[in-house]
Structure 1
Amino acid sequence: MDIAILEVFIILGLTIFFFVTELFPVDKIAIFIIVSLVLLGLVTPEEAISGFSNSATITVLSLMIIAIALEDNGVIAWFAQGLQRLSILPLLILIPTFMFITAGISAFISTTAVVIVFIKIIFQLSERFGIPAGKLLLPVSFAGILGGSCTLMGTSTNLIVNSIAQNRGVDKLGFFEFAWMGGIFLVAGIIIVTIASRFLPKKDPSESLELAYEIDELITTITIKPSSPLVGKTINDTFLKEASDVTLLKLVRNGVTTNAPGKYITLQSGDELVVMADIDNLERIMTDGAHKEEKPAETSDQLVDIPKDIKLESEKAKKEPIAIQLLEILILPGSVFLGSTLSDLKRFNLQGILPIAIKKRKNLRNTKERLIRKNLDQIRIKPGDRILLETDKSSVNELNNLEGVVILKTHEPFQPKNKTKKYIATAVLLAVIGLAASGVLSILASSLTGMALLLATNCLEMNKIYTKVDWQIFFLLAGMIPLGVAMTNSGADIWLSDQLLILFEGKDKLFILGAIFLITMIMSGSVSNNATAVIMAPIAISVAAGLELPAKPFLLAVMFAANFSFFTPVGYQTNTLIYNLGIYRFKHFLFIGGILSIVLCVLGTLLLSTLF
């Protein structure tokens, strides 16, 4: 074995080891790969950075940016809104319906972005209609992966395999060339997962939080401004009565407090309302004060005031625009905040940090009744309480340095969706799909055009690109592509294919195709699907050449198998996402995903053999 081949295998082995053990983030691993290849002379410096200009890498980046615009402008949520009407369906019908819709959207939009939106929808269905979220989240993740495998732009893996094929002189894949196989895989996946869903847990993700922290809704005080559409209306005629997630605890008018105000009380300018709401409704109230009212949400005037003890601070902050975000913190025993009220938090001199609302820990007494009988500034902070803070990003470190405080999560301030931008973003998506599918433009050219149109129409802001793009995927692709180049330069791919041909000598081509499918699938279960595609695609092409068979069946085997990492929660990003919610155990992926993987491996081998 040549020394260069040995060096490539050492780098490859270390790469797989770091991926499996997660000693370093994937973007760091990618940088290590690039540097190692250059220092060992396996690639030139220009080849080492070729991944950053590779058509597949740029196409994936462009599609991720388009997905950000679609999510920010409410397009993905708009597509999925009707799903809440499906709550009346039996679970055995609801699961395949959700899977089919998820797969359909994922065929054209980033699978991860789609699954994130569906997670939110499933949470809402779980809370409002008692539908067990554990029965839907894993099927949705699996469906997203299956749907993304139906078109060339469905996943980054498809684009990488296509790019490698073109660089090796193999005919490029068509946009819908393998869609019929992807459709068969999807139907098989829906049937298997629906049947196996009886073994999925019924646990609701919100239950674990409530049991761990025993918390209720966020509580805050708002002040009605003269310009608010709430003025002159009875409580019964406003969102305060209609919204199930907003509870009016009391009304303060001219210093007089009314507990549990009646629905026929007419609201006036200057009224102070103590409300209990979830995070989404609280942000909407603070943003426009209208919720379901008829006044356009685009108005620049704030229609309600946040608590009067922090009003002046907010006005001061308006004069100096800074990047504001919402933080939710958990108060632990020993915290310096214990015994304080929201008003008292100002005495701690936390610059740039404003308390907005408090989420009280439940106890044996009735939480709502106790809060109604107290003014908000009299409620004392206790261990287990959560506090919502408005802060600029530079002040987050001050909270990290405090004893007895844990930052649980961050919330981006609610931004009302602009209907015009939503329609423009939808039109751009359809144009990108149409141009790419018809062959008028390549996927790279169409995605770049779509990104430019979104920027030109202000449907997308550059700062959103910098903060929301998953740069880990970008760097992973850019780092793995030079590894594929090094395998070619050193002859490692030819050496490996020769060893496989010796191993498969005398075996039927169907068996060899199935072995390539199985090896790729197993590798993808522990290594990133994109990294697996980069490693296995050149080997598959070489094996096909050695057998004097067409390369496409072997390339498609690598493409599908790299995507189909169902039997572990670490092979695909959406599986990792739902696994981290704490609902599923490894065994759920190993059992259900394992059965699905075996079936798809056999089915895929049989379908792809028809291309010989």
Structure 2
Amino acid sequence: MTVEIGIVLGIILLAVILFVTERLSIDTVAILTMVLFMATGILTPAEGFAGFSNPATITVASMFIISSAIFKSGALSNVGLCLTRIGRKSYLLCLLLLMLIAGSLSAFINDTAVVALLMPVVIQVSKDIRVSPSKLLIPLSFGSLMGGVCTLIGTSTNILVSGIAEAQGLEPLQMFEFLPAGIWFLVAGILYMFFIGRYLLPDRKLAENLSEEFGLGNYITEIVLLPGSPSVGVPLQQSNLVRDLDIEVMQVTRDKERLQVFPSLILRANDVLKVLIGVEKLKKLKQDQGVKLKSERKFRDEDVGMYDSMLYEAIVTPNSYMEGKSLKELNFRAYNYGASVLAIRHRDEIVHEKLAHVKLSAGDVLLITANSDQAEKLRQNDDILIISQTVRSEFKYGKIVPVMLISIGVVLAAATGLVPIVLSAMVGVVAMVIFKCIRLDEAYDAIDWKVIFMLGGVLSMGAALEKTGAAKLLADYLIIGVGQYGPHALLSVFFFTTFMTTNFMSNNATAALLAPIAIVTAQELGVSERPFLMAVAYAASLSFMTPMGYQTNTMIYGPGNYRFSDYLKVGTPLNLLFWILASLIIPFFFPL
């Protein structure tokens, strides 16, 4: 143990604590880690920033753009229709087809995008066949994860591990090198869900409508602003009703004309305001001398009927700009042309009061009232995803052919070894732009920059572990503790350690931390590095035991009305099954 190794392990321990506690965003922790390595002299600036020029980082960015172009072309518009038709016939057939479709698409397209595409369809199908969404959303997420480990481009983790291998002088992982063992994981996972997992899934009662589902025991109250009210003559957002009582104003009627609600709308005497209000605030409002209560009744879905307004469910997507911010900080209503949030499903609770001050997290479900124009703007916002209504993407014949040909070309060029994956992906992106499959501004928007910065940062961990000898030190400890049982036992330990760690911190951070140690361990044992790298890559993506283990698990948490224990109940047996399976098949397909 040297001073440098101590510094490296101390910085990594700090990073792990921050990853697990989520006190800072994942990309912020990754960049902080990189900066600390450079500030302490462990890495030079060139070594620290090398992660941003790593083929893995560039490849992941390129695949974001290619995936977006495929979705925008409408090439997958009939997938949801097929699922809907099968779902109406049989729940079991729907379960099988859902996992097969999710797995197949995720092998070539970003799995988060696949879940975003299929989740609204699954929720609608569940309502059609009177099955709780909780019976289908976990299979959707798990299927996408299992399909993602079948190819190099199926998940960013596979690309990251390949980049780490290449940086340490090893052969990069090949496009379909993951497929033989990956198919075993996919088939075993589907069989598990069909014969065992479906019985462990929760069966949350279906609500008749969104207002019931979100427990809106609040009241719709119509109030009249009297001439002496302090709210008269001031913008809605600055009125005492909104500023002091934090009341949600849903509609303003003036001289029998319904006005569209904006934060800057100037209130006038005798305006009739339809407000959503809790019981306690209703008592305070009755004591207000500046208003007169006109009527009050229980909230119903039809109470949003103004300017074709409807209720929508939308989730905060992983790595969203909205994470960690409140609706007030986001100026949500003004930014979305007057769309209003009526309730928030935040983890295991539904929040009705002081909504503007709730700090949002990935997976939170917002109940929003919006008209068609506002809803369209919400659909164009990548930070949230509307899940309560399915809108099929337009089938664009002029784009589908070049998009599919270019995408197939990217895969074949990399799979045959004609060019490295980073080059084929970049050429594919350039071709997509040249042939107008995607606009340049859309390409920039398609990249999840938080993931890119996170990858650039976490790659510094591997560089620091390797440079200082910390990876060798940790590998020696592992060999001393488990090496006596042979390389097969060590391989099994790496798979177990990886999937357990991934359940509580970023899968990419886990892979970046353990892949260098796996390489050195194999070299110290005098065996092939390949099976150890594959164990880390597979295990880092096959994470089922917690909602924060993978982005897709987080996405379905709120819409499925799941609890933390649901993931443990369904995911733990599956992870243990895969651990046993991996210990047997990885050495078979990748000999030690």
TM over 0.5: yes
State the secondary structure of the residue aligned to 1:340: strand
Q: Which whole-Å CA distance do the structure 1 matches of 2:522 and 2:410 have between them?
A: 33
Match of 1:350 among 264, 278, 285: 264
Q: Which whole-Å CA distance do the structure 1 matches of 2:519 and 2:545 have between them?
A: 26
Q: List per-residue Cα deviations over 1:561-582 (Å, max 9, x = no partner).
A: 1111111111211011111325
State the secondary structure of the residue aligned to 2:42: coil
Q: List per-residue Cα deviations over 1:412-467 (Å, max 9, x = no partner).
A: 36885533123332222222222222222221111112211221122212322333
Corresponding residue of 1:211: 212
- Retained in 2: the 8 A contact 1:336–1:404? no
Corresponding residue of 1:301: none
Deviation at residue 145 of structure 1 after TM alignment: 0.6
Q: Which whole-Å CA distance do the structure 2 matches of 1:568 and 1:347 have between them?
A: 40
Corresponding residue of 1:199: 200
Deviation at residue 475 of structure 1 after TM alignment: 0.9
Identical residues among aligned pairs (%): 32
Q: Which whole-Å CA distance do the structure 2 matches of 1:26 and 1:465 have between them?
A: 23
Match of 2:545 among 567, 571, 576: 567
State the secondary structure of the residue aligned to 2:153: coil
- 1:190/1:545 Cα in 2 relative to 1: closer, same or farther (>3 Å)? same
Q: Which whole-Å CA distance do the structure 2 matches of 1:114 and 1:21 have between them?
A: 28
Match of 2:378 among 411, 414, 423: 411
Corresponding residue of 2:15: 15
CA RMSD of aligned residues (A): 3.7
- 1:359/1:165 Cα in 2 relative to 1: closer, same or farther (>3 Å)? farther
Supply the AA of the counterpart residue of 1:412.
Answer: R
Deviation at residue 525 of structure 1 after TM alignment: 0.9
State the secondary structure of the residue aligned to 1:175: coil
Corresponding residue of 2:116: 116
Q: Which whole-Å CA distance do the structure 1 matches of 2:300 and 2:118 have between them?
A: 34
- 1:127/1:551 Cα in 2 relative to 1: closer, same or farther (>3 Å)? same
- 1:207/1:420 Cα in 2 relative to 1: closer, same or farther (>3 Å)? farther
Supply the AA of the counterpart residue of 2:537.
Answer: M
Corresponding residue of 1:422: 400
Q: Which whole-Å CA distance do the structure 2 matches of 1:131 and 1:590 have between them?
A: 22
Corresponding residue of 1:526: 504
- 1:45/1:90 Cα in 2 relative to 1: closer, same or farther (>3 Å)? same
Q: List per-residue Cα deviations over 1:273-308 (Å, max 9, x = no partner).
A: xxxxxxxxxxxxxxxxxxxxxxxxxxxxxxxxxxxx
- Retained in 1: the 8 A contact 2:519–2:529? yes
- Bigger drift between 480-489 and 163-172 goes to 163-172
Corresponding residue of 1:482: 460
Match of 1:581 among 552, 556, 559: 559
State the secondary structure of the residue aligned to 1:439: coil
Match of 2:536 among 558, 573, 580: 558
Q: Which whole-Å CA distance do the structure 2 matches of 1:371 and 1:145 have between them?
A: 38
- Bigger drift between 454-463 and 134-143 goes to 454-463
Q: Which whole-Å CA distance do the structure 2 matches of 1:574 and 1:347 have between them?
A: 35
Map 1:237-276 onto structure 2 (within 5 A). none
State the secondary structure of the residue aligned to 2:579: helix
Q: Which whole-Å CA distance do the structure 2 matches of 1:520 and 1:69 have between them?
A: 33
Match of 1:396 among 311, 335, 338: 335
Deviation at residue 129 of structure 1 after TM alignment: 3.3
Corresponding residue of 2:429: 451
Q: TM-score, normalised by structure 2?
A: 0.73
- Retained in 2: the 8 A contact 1:205–1:582? no
Supply the AA of the counterpart residue of 1:424.
Answer: P
- Retained in 1: the 8 A contact 2:250–2:275? no
Corresponding residue of 1:142: 142
Match of 1:517 among 492, 495, 518: 495
- 1:360/1:38 Cα in 2 relative to 1: closer, same or farther (>3 Å)? closer
Q: Which whole-Å CA distance do the structure 2 matches of 1:570 and 1:457 have between them?
A: 39
Q: Which whole-Å CA distance do the structure 1 matches of 2:169 and 2:80 have between them?
A: 41
Instruction: Give the unaligned 5+ runs of structure 1.
Output: 216-328, 353-357
Q: TM-score, normalised by structure 1?
A: 0.71
Match of 1:546 among 495, 504, 524: 524
- 1:8/1:343 Cα in 2 relative to 1: closer, same or farther (>3 Å)? farther
Corresponding residue of 1:594: 572
Q: Which whole-Å CA distance do the structure 1 matches of 2:115 and 2:416 have between them?
A: 27
Deviation at residue 87 of structure 1 after TM alignment: 1.8
State the secondary structure of the residue aligned to 1:609: helix
Q: Which whole-Å CA distance do the structure 2 matches of 1:499 and 1:585 have between them?
A: 38
- Retained in 2: the 8 A contact 1:161–1:555? yes
Supply the AA of the counterpart residue of 1:420.
Answer: G
Q: Which whole-Å CA distance do the structure 2 matches of 1:336 and 1:530 have between them?
A: 43
Q: List per-residue Cα deviations over 1:479-537 (Å, max 9, x = no partner).
A: 00112111111111011101111112421222111111111111111111111111111
**Bigger Cα Rg:** 1
Q: List per-residue Cα deviations over 1:138-182 (Å, max 9, x = no partner).
A: 011111111010111111111111111122222322221231110
Q: Which whole-Å CA distance do the structure 2 matches of 1:366 and 1:19 have between them?
A: 42
Corresponding residue of 2:373: none
Match of 1:604 among 579, 582, 590: 582
Corresponding residue of 1:188: 188
- Retained in 1: the 8 A contact 2:86–2:93? no
Matched residue count: 482
Supply the AA of the counterpart residue of 1:118.
Answer: L
- Retained in 2: the 8 A contact 1:126–1:204? no
Q: Which whole-Å CA distance do the structure 2 matches of 1:205 and 1:39 have between them?
A: 54
The alignment status of 1:44 with 2:44, answered yes or no, reads yes
Q: Which whole-Å CA distance do the structure 2 matches of 1:66 and 1:128 have between them?
A: 33
- Bigger drift between 526-535 and 130-139 goes to 130-139
Corresponding residue of 2:328: none
Q: Which whole-Å CA distance do the structure 2 matches of 1:366 and 1:534 have between them?
A: 50
- Retained in 2: the 8 A contact 1:51–1:477? yes
Instruction: Give the unaligned 5+ runs of structure 2.
Output: 217-241, 267-273, 278-295, 315-330, 342-352, 357-365, 369-376, 381-390
Supply the AA of the counterpart residue of 1:491.
Answer: G
Map 1:286-325 onto structure 2 (within 5 A). none
Supply the AA of the counterpart residue of 1:102.
Answer: A
Supply the AA of the counterpart residue of 2:335.
Answer: V
